[in-house]
Amino acid sequence: MAESPSQLLRTARRIVVKVGSSLVTNEGRGLDEQAIGQWSEQLAALVQQGRELVMVSSGAVAEGMKRLGWATRPREIHELQAAAAVGQMGLVQMYETKLRACGVGSAQVLLTHADLADRERYLNARSTLLTLLDLKVVPVINENDTVVNDEIKFGDNDTLGALVANLIEADLLIILTDQKGLYTADPRRDPTAEFVHVARAGDPRLEAMAGGAGSGIGKGGMITKILAARRAAGSGASTVIAWGREPQVLQRLAGGEPIGTCLVAQTPKNQARKRWMADHLQLRGSVSVDAGAVHKLVSEGKSLLPIGMVAVSGDFSRGDVIAVRDPEGREVARGLANYASSEARLICRRSSADFERLLGYAAEPEMIHRDNLVLMPA
pLDDT (tens digit per residue) in 77-111? 889 889 999 999 999 999 999 999 999 999 999 98
CA dihedral 190→196→201→202, nearest 10 degrees, is -30
Res 220: pLDDT: 52
Nearest to 371 by CA among 342, 338, 343: 338
* The pLDDT of residue 270: 66
pLDDT mean over 311-318: 95
Q: At what angle do helices 33-48 and 77-101 cross, to 10 degrees?
A: 50
- Residue 265's pLDDT is 93
**What's the pLDDT at 103?**
97
CB 236 within 8 A of CB 272: yes
Distance CA 266, CA 234 (A): 9
Rounded to two decimals, the pTM is 0.80
Mean pLDDT for 18-24 is 91
Torsion of CA 111, 112, 114, 117, to 10 degrees: 60
Between the alpha carbon of residue 319 and those of residues 43, 116, 248, 335, the distances in Å are 31, 12, 39, 9
Query: What percent of the chain clears pLDDT 90, i.e. is strictly above it?
Result: 63
> Could you report the per-residue pLDDT of 51-73, keeping only the tens digit for each?
999 999 988 888 899 899 998 88
Residue 191: what pLDDT? 87
Pairing of the two strands 14-19 and 172-177: parallel
Q: What is the pLDDT of residues 140-157, one digit of tens each?
A: 998 887 776 654 443 578
Asked whether the predicted pLDDT for residue 118 surpasses 80, the reply is no
| Residue 51 or residue 119, greater confidence | 51
Q: Mean pLDDT score of the chain, rounded to an integer? A: 89
Single-letter amino acid code for the residue at 128: T
Angle at 65 between CA 60 and CA 70, to 5 degrees: 170
Q: What is the mean pLDDT of residues 300-323?
A: 95
**Integer Cα distance of 219 and 243 in angstroms:** 17
| Each residue's pLDDT tens digit, 170-226 | 999 999 998 899 999 888 788 898 999 999 998 988 988 886 444 444 445 789 999
- Res 2 pLDDT > 70: no
What's the pLDDT at 249? 97
Q: What is the pLDDT of residue 213?
A: 43
Per-residue pLDDT band at 316 (split at 50, 70, 90)? very high
pLDDT confidence of residue 273: 67
Do the Cβ atoms of 324 and 331 come closer than 8 Å? yes
Strands 261-264 and 238-243 turn out to be: antiparallel
3-state SS record for the chain: CCCCHHHHHHHCCEEEEEECHHHHCCCCCCCCHHHHHHHHHHHHHHHHCCCEEEEEECCHHHHHHHHHCCCCCCCCHHHHHHHHHHHHHHHHHHHHHHHHHCCCEEEEEEECHHHHHCHHHHHHHHHHHHHHHHCCEEEEEEECCCCCCHHHHHCCHHHHHHHHHHHCCCCEEEEEECCCCCECCCCCCCCCCCECCEEECCCHHHHHHCCCCCCCCCCCCHHHHHHHHHHHHCCCCEEEEEECCCCCHHHHHHCCCCCCEEEECCCCHHHHHHHHHHCCCCCCEEEEECHHHHHHHHHHCCCECHHHEEEEEECCCCCCEEEEECCCCCEEEEEECCCCHHHHHHHCCCCHHHHHHHHCCCCCCCCECHHHEEECCC
Closest alpha carbon to 230 in 182, 287, 278, 195: 182
What pLDDT does 344 receive? 97
Question: How many Å apart are CA 331 and CA 322, to the nearest integer?
Answer: 10
Q: Mean pLDDT over residues 151-171, rounded?
A: 79
pLDDT(247) > 80: yes
Closest CA to 339 of 322, 353, 351: 322
